[in-house]
Amino acid sequence: MISPPQALIAEVTHRCPMHCVYCSNPLIMQSRENEMPTGAWEKIISDAAALGCWHLHLTGGEPLSRNDLPALVQAGRAAGLYVNLITSGLGLSRERLEQMVEAGLDHVQLSFQDSIEESANLFGGTRAHAQKLKVAAMIREHRVAFTINIVVHRGNLDRLESMIALAEELKADKLEIANVQYYGWAVRNRANLLPTRAQLDKSLPIVAQARERLAGRIRIDFVLPDYYAKYPKPCMGGWGRGVMLVDPAGRVMPCHAASVIPGLTFENAREKPLRWIWEESPSFQRFRGSDWMPEPCRSCDRKEIDFGGCRCQAFLLASNAEATDPTCSKAPLRQRLEQIVTEANSPLADVPPSGAWVYRIDPPVLSS
Partner 1 sequence: MEPQLTQRPALKRGCRLSTIEPLLLIPEGALRLQGPGRRILELCDGERSLADVIDELQAEYASAEPSKMSGEVVAFLKALAERGAIEFL
Task: Give residues in contact with partner 1 (CB under 8 A).
Answer: 6, 54-55, 80, 82, 84, 106-107, 143-147, 173-174, 216, 219
Distance CA 201, CA 299 (A): 32
We find the least distance from the C-beta atom of residue 267 to partner 1, in angstroms, to be 26
We find the least distance from the C-beta atom of residue 45 to partner 1, in angstroms, to be 14
165 to 114, 171, 206, 251: CA distances (angstroms):
12, 10, 12, 40
Distance CA 145, CA 84 (A): 9
Contacts of 54 (CB under 8 A, 6+ apart): 6, 7, 81, 82
Residue 222 forms beta bridges with which residues? 177
We find the least distance from the C-beta atom of residue 201 to partner 1, in angstroms, to be 27
We find the least distance from the C-beta atom of residue 255 to partner 1, in angstroms, to be 17
Nearer to partner 1, 146 or 185 (CB): 146
We find the least distance from the C-beta atom of residue 4 to partner 1, in angstroms, to be 12
Order of strands across the sheet with 174-179? 219-223, 174-179, 145-152, 107-112, 82-87, 55-59, 7-11, 243-246, 252-253
We find the least distance from the C-beta atom of residue 27 to partner 1, in angstroms, to be 30
Nearer to partner 1, 144 or 194 (CB): 144
Nearer to partner 1, 172 or 316 (CB): 172
We find the least distance from the C-beta atom of residue 358 to partner 1, in angstroms, to be 32
Nearer to partner 1, 202 or 275 (CB): 275
Q: What share of the chain is helix, strand, coil (3-state, %, to 5)?
A: 40, 15, 50
Distance CA 72, CA 36 (A): 12
Q: Which of 253, 215, 227 is nearest to 331 (CA)?
A: 227
Nearer to partner 1, 83 or 157 (CB): 83
Counted residue by residue, the chain has a size of 368
Distance CA 110, CA 149 (A): 6
Nearer to partner 1, 81 or 193 (CB): 81
Distance CA 312, CA 318 (A): 10
Nearer to partner 1, 76 or 184 (CB): 76
